[in-house]
Amino acid sequence: MSSSAEGASPYDINSPTDSVIGADFQGLSAEEQEKQREEWKAELAKTEEEILTLKQVLASKERHAQGLKRRLGITAWREFSEDMAQGLKNLQESATYKRTTENLQFAKEIAKEKTAGIWSGVYASTAFQKASSSVSSALGAAKTKMSNSYSQQTFDEALDEHKNGTETTEKS
């Protein structure tokens, strides 16, 4: 606003928006400016009314479409599922997805090569050889002990024996 209260107009140019309007009003008298504002107000009211009408028509069309979908057995879940399937298909067909898949496969192959080298080193180490030998010996001893056991029963036979408190004859 200007410093003089008498000459101040409620339409002084103070903001960037006002400066745009000011360019439209340049060279117009106060009466012409007021007439221009009234035209804009009328156009705005008409545009807002058209928007409201379009929203109502759109809402009506959406209700009609929902009714048709219901009659066709198309549910919201089905639409969602189809949209998700299509989205996934589009994603998998995208260049970015394909590049990422190729890069992951390449990284997997490199990791496999690197770990193969590490494992071959572990297998060749004397500590692993000793541990492997010890485990093999323990496993062999356990097998021998089990095979020399008097019982060659099945699990069901052992369960019956436990329940009845009697021994069943060994199967041959």
Q: Mean pLDDT, to the nearest integer, of 10-29?
A: 64
Average pLDDT, the chain: 80
Residue 36 makes CB contacts below 8 A (sequence gap 6+) with 24, 25, 28
Q: What are phi and psi of 51, to 5 degrees?
A: -60, -45
pLDDT at 85: 94
- pLDDT of 5 over the 50 cut: no
Structure confidence at residue 125 (pLDDT): 83
Return the higher-pLDDT residue of 164 and 62.
62
* pLDDT confidence band for 158 (50 / 70 / 90): confident
Give pLDDT, residue 68. Answer: 93
Q: Which is higher by pLDDT, 64 or 152? A: 64
Quickly state the pLDDT bin for 157 (edges 50, 70, 90). confident
Report pTM. Answer: 0.37
Q: Write down the pLDDT at residue 39.
A: 93
Map tokens 């297998």 to a residue: 123
pLDDT grade for 2, boundaries at 50, 70 and 90: very low
Q: What is the pLDDT of residues 113-125, one digit of tens each?
A: 888 778 777 778 8
